[in-house]
Structure 1
């Protein structure tokens, strides 16, 4: 069961090879009980499909688009150019420049076409950012995010206690 029948995220990958990174994004969306759809769509090989998808995203109930691509990494920018929906770009590490090319292509957008960009292979953070964006309209997600961040703090505190115990044995 999804937390809201209305909240929906599209996860768009430039290639099916991006799934190995984007599975972390999908897992977070599942954990937060957010409805999502996943597709492969290339900014260069299927530009008409990319434009049509982005143009119709808001009419199809998509609230946030997460776009992952490597190398030239134009997917997020192309989608953002055609939609009023927030777009989060995930630059995928490629053999070329260790993903720096993807990062720069995703983050360097012209004025008026914003793409929120996460770290190279930052699929988990992309999903968490989508949750935070959605929490503006879907307040139950804000409570889940508060609980999530509390659990992160608890994990760090537990590690600190373990470290302190190890240090006392030195």
Structure 2
């Protein structure tokens, strides 16, 4: 790593190597402040039995690229968010390598460091059956953890849904179909009552016709 301030991030890579039972070493070497140390470390890495190199740095993160220029071992770069540019400068400096000097660039920060440890283990696993089996177990356990989280989330959401239904009025839970308006009923009694005034009127007209148009108690006009 380029600085001791990068240690909290790079510990994620170390943790994954430990989980797979892979021995590792950690060192601080800056591509800009200690270029000779970086060159010497890179050139002697293969003789010391190192199979993969992981380089984490921030700002103008040239560490991984410089290491890759001095060795034929695979180099994994971890850009670290430690500058005012929020790690964008480190990401571009690590990823934008010229043709012929490859660096396998991970994502920014702790997730990138974790993936760097896993990726290094996968490279070593191509020639080590034990490590390959440990990686398989790791992936199975990771899948199982996700399934357990999904089950817990489903159980919580089901309980909340049941409680919500219990609090709601029945009318809101089971909407009823709109009722059709009832037509007014006409009874025989209403028909008879409506016909009474007409009968009285017709009797009065017949009486006037017989009496010459006078009402009872009045004398006919002379």
- Fold match (TM-score > 0.5): yes
* 1:86 aligns to 2:71 (yes or no): no
Deviations 1:48-82 (A, max 9, x none): 11111111111111100000000000000000000
Q: Name the CA distance, whole Å, in 2 between partners of 1:42 and 1:114.
A: 19
Q: Name the CA distance, whole Å, in 1 between partners of 2:154 and 2:8.
A: 36
Instruction: Show the counterpart of 2:138.
Output: 148
Instruction: Show the counterpart of 1:72.
Output: 60
Instruction: Show the counterpart of 2:191.
Output: none
Deviations 1:108-139 (A, max 9, x none): 11101010011001111100000000000111
Matches within 5 A, 1:20-169: 20-121=8-109, 122-169=112-159
Q: Displacement of 1:95 after TM fit?
A: 2.9
Q: Name the CA distance, whole Å, in 2 between partners of 1:142 and 1:42.
A: 33
TM-score for the superposition, normalised by structure 1: 0.91
Instruction: Show the counterpart of 1:18.
Output: 6
TM-score for the superposition, normalised by structure 2: 0.70
Any idea what SS the aligned residue of 2:100 has? coil
Q: Displacement of 1:25 after TM fit?
A: 1.2
* Structure 1 runs not aligned, ≥5 long: 1-12
The range that moved more, 159-168 or 61-70, is: 159-168
Any idea what SS the aligned residue of 1:67 has? strand
* Count of residues in Structure 1 that have an aligned counterpart in Structure 2: 158
* Structure 2 runs not aligned, ≥5 long: 162-222
Comparing both chains, which one has the higher relative contact order based on Cα–Cα distances under 8 Å and sequence gaps of 6 or more? 1
Any idea what SS the aligned residue of 2:5 has? helix
Any idea what SS the aligned residue of 1:162 has? helix
Q: Name the CA distance, whole Å, in 2 between partners of 1:95 and 1:16.
A: 15
Question: Which has a greater percent of strand?
Answer: 1
Q: Displacement of 1:145 after TM fit?
A: 0.5
Any idea what SS the aligned residue of 1:38 has? coil
CA contact (8 A) 2:51 2:73 kept: yes
